[in-house]
Amino acid sequence: MNYLGIHFKVAPVQPGTDILIAMLGEYEFETFVTNETGFDAFIKEEDFNQTMIDEIPEMDFTFTYEIEKIEQKNWNAEWESNFHPVFVEDKCCIRASFHDKPENVQLDILIDPKMSFGTGHHDTTWLMSRELFSLDLKDKSLLDMGCGTGVLAIIAKKLGASSIEGIDIDDWSIENSIENGKNNHTEGITFYKGNVNSLANKHFDVVLANINRNVLLNDMHAYYDCLPSGGLLLLSGFFESDFEELNKKASSLGFSFDKKEAKNGWCMLKYKKN
């Protein structure tokens, strides 16, 4: 599966960058990475439509963009040249196999991301990783929905979760997650290709879903059905400005709001099933 990287240059950078990202967040973009001149947006090639950009109205800022096709076989060189260890406070280090082993962290996580997103560099993955350390996961069953590189499932397993399933729609993500699971010696994690339909008759104590706002709104009912009373749901992959809409949906299903954390405009929400 190929991705497109759309490189936006925005003038002035702010608030233009935030506005454009908020508008494009309505579509199937998987992640946005800001930089000094604007931002990069990543989307599966099959999900992209030129009208997503053409229909952006005139604003009090200007922007230009270039579209780059990112093939799976070219991804390794790109991330390896830019990938630095990520520290989630003193709780864990997420690093590649060619980095030195860190000191003074609770967990040392090896992730070779290849074409999958989820190295810990993105604020949503960082927020979800940190929150896992506040949970009592011992002997709990857990779902990592949209597992990407498998990093959240791997952290959860090392924190005591008993049985874990990681699901993603992308073949490459599943292949990468399985490899990362082996490299971290985490037995008891099952990674497989699927979507929300794969959750029928499944039950978990904890559900993690770090995807995007539209998918979360559409699939949240299935997460609810998977959980027992008192079960926990952690959501991320969206902007803090999306909180009200997601919280309204969660409340309507019967979730009780527990916590909201934010980092650089991105958000993580924690709920408990009533």
Is 99 in contact with 44 (CB distance < 8 Å)?
no
Tell me the per-residue pLDDT of 46-65, one tens digit each, with 9 for 90 and over: 999 999 999 999 888 999 99
Mean pLDDT for 31-46 is 87
Q: Is 80 exceeded by the pLDDT of residue 78?
A: no
Can you name the residues that pair with 66 across neighbouring β-strands?
7
Model pLDDT, residue 77: 56
Tell me the per-residue pLDDT of 86-105, one tens digit each, with 9 for 90 and over: 899 999 999 988 788 888 89
Model pLDDT, residue 121: 67
Compute the CA torsion angle 124, 125, 128, 129 (nearest 10 deg). -150
Mean pLDDT for 162-184 is 91
Model pLDDT, residue 233: 98
pLDDT band, residue 35 (cuts 50/70/90): confident
Omega cis (within 30) before 12? yes
Instruction: Report pTM.
Output: 0.76
Measured CA to CA in angstroms, residue 160 lies from 53, 169, 238, 242 at distances of: 45, 26, 27, 32
pLDDT band, residue 84 (cuts 50/70/90): confident
140-144, 145-149, 158-162: range with lowest mean pLDDT? 145-149
79-93, 114-128, 164-178: range with lowest mean pLDDT? 114-128
From 3.40.50.11540, 3.40.50.150, 3.40.50.2020, 3.40.50.720, which CATH number describes the 123-273 domain? 3.40.50.150
Q: Is 80 exceeded by the pLDDT of residue 79?
A: no
For residue 205, how many other CB atoms are within 10 A of its CB?
A: 21
